[in-house]
Amino acid sequence: MEKSEIDRRLQTTKGFYRNYVRKFYEDAHKTKAEGTPVAWVASTFPIEMLLATNVFPVWPENYASICAAKHVSVRLCEIAESKGFSKDLCSYARCVIGSLFEKRANLPEGGLPKPDFLVTSTSACDTHYKWFQVISRHFNVPLFLLDVPYNIKGKSSSHLEKEHIEFYVSGLNQLIDFLEVQTGKKIDKRRLQETIALSDQTSKLWMEILDYRKTIPVPMGARDAFSAVFFMLCIPSTHMAIEFYTKLNSEVRKRVENNFGITEHEKYRLIWDNLPLWYNLEFFEYLKKQGAVVVAETFSHVWMGRLDPVKPMEALAKKYLPNFANCSIDRKIDLIEDLAEKFKVDGIILPTNWGCRMMSVGETIVKEEILKRLGIPSLIIDVDSSDWRSFNETQIKKRVEVFLQMLNRDN
């Protein structure tokens, strides 16, 4: 039994950390040493703009999740707290701020390479730009803020206002000016279009992969999704990403054809909202042992979107503006409703994130609305993605088990 479960792991994602993530950070340090500018960037920023220039973008949030997975995040958070940063701030931010004061030798992958400049936006959370202000001050390097209008529900939750697209595009033009000053080079419009085209291709492959998970039994679980989404986040428009997703795509497709799921005993199909417990990815294995599989995550669904390379700027506006992090809660509710139907879901897990308002406030409405619209129950668990100090595993597991039993009764 144990053995057959192990055999069910995907081949393509085996050794993912070693083969891709570690390599990415090694490259980052190497490129930096060779004189290429390194930019620190936050999620929901149109990273394509950086990948189209001779800049190496790294993602502190990704780095924080690594620190959490390697169980050093709390130590780093404590350093930040000793500098006066509140324990209630986002653990990603605390972790990375803490890492600024730690010896590189003590940090996973030698820490993040020192930034030459920082770019972030207002489109996910306040933390992004406030945190980056701290970093900018620390290294005395410039910070570019892409100012993005909050997408309050209009005609529908995904409706985009013309003024918002215009404002976004004008922000991208300012970004180009900024990048040209920072790199001393004019932006190559052709390369930008190529990058957008590659990003579109990456996105298409990723969307197909996620789509296969509609199948019963589900061919790919949350753990693999949370690893593999790395390319969508960090390097969505590279040949490496396309190569990886092509391989993953065909492996998952084969599973679908062969009716081969991640477990033999699929009983409950779940959606997982927000972030995983990076320090406890085993949690998904535990769920699997209860017969519960995660068939969709809101997280893996927010990064994609087809892009029209002919109009690169508008394409980026249309990809990033409707991101649910930048929208009223209705957008997330609609997304979850859509996923729940398409993926034949029995229940939703809504983990909040202690230091993150965006992922915490409003989850009660999600729960209520989804129950009202589809009759599908949700479980809110109050956790933190990277700071495990108040994580009570026994208690959370107990609540999950009660929740699953309730789903069982419903069936």
Q: Residue 135, interface with another protein (CB under 8 A)? A: no
DSSP letter (8 states) at residue 112: P
Partner in contact with 330, chosen from another protein, ligand SF4, none, beta carbon below 5 to 8 Å by kind: another protein
Report d(CA 333, CA 370) in Å as an integer.
7
Stated length of the chain: 411
Quick note: the x/- pattern for ligand SF4 over 327-356, rule CB under 6 A, is: --------------------------x-xx
Shortest gap between Cβ of 382 and another protein (angstroms)?
6
Q: Contacts with ligand SF4 in 122-141 (CB under 6 A)?
A: 124-125, 127-128
Quick note: the x/- pattern for another protein over 79-118, rule CB under 8 A, is: ----xxxx-xxx--x-------------------------
113, 139 Cβ separation under 8 angstroms: no
Total residues contacting ligand SF4 (rule CB under 6 A)? 12
Q: Helices 239-257 and 189-212, interaxial angle, to 10°?
A: 20
Report d(CA 93, CA 68) in Å as an integer.
12
Partner in contact with 254, chosen from ligand SF4, another protein, none, beta carbon below 5 to 8 Å by kind: none
Range 187-191 contact pairs with CB under 8 angstroms and sequence separation of 24 or more: 187/52, 187/53, 188/52, 188/53, 191/52, 191/53
Closer CB to ligand SF4, 129 or 168, in the complex: 129
Q: Residue 147, interface with another protein (CB under 8 A)? A: yes
Side-by-side strand order, sheet with 38-41: 56-58, 38-41, 117-121, 143-146
382, 354 Cβ separation under 8 angstroms: yes
Q: Residue 358, interface with ligand SF4 (CB under 6 A)? A: yes
Helix, strand, or coil here: 309? coil
Helix, strand, or coil here: 58? strand
Residues of the shown chain interacting with ligand SF4 in the complex, contacts defined by CB under 6 A: 61, 90, 92, 124-125, 127-128, 353, 355-356, 358-359
Residues of the shown chain interacting with another protein in the complex, contacts defined by CB under 8 A: 83-86, 88-90, 93, 122, 125-127, 129-131, 133-134, 137, 145, 147, 149-150, 152, 163, 167, 170-171, 174, 328-330, 352, 354-355, 357-358, 360-365, 380, 382
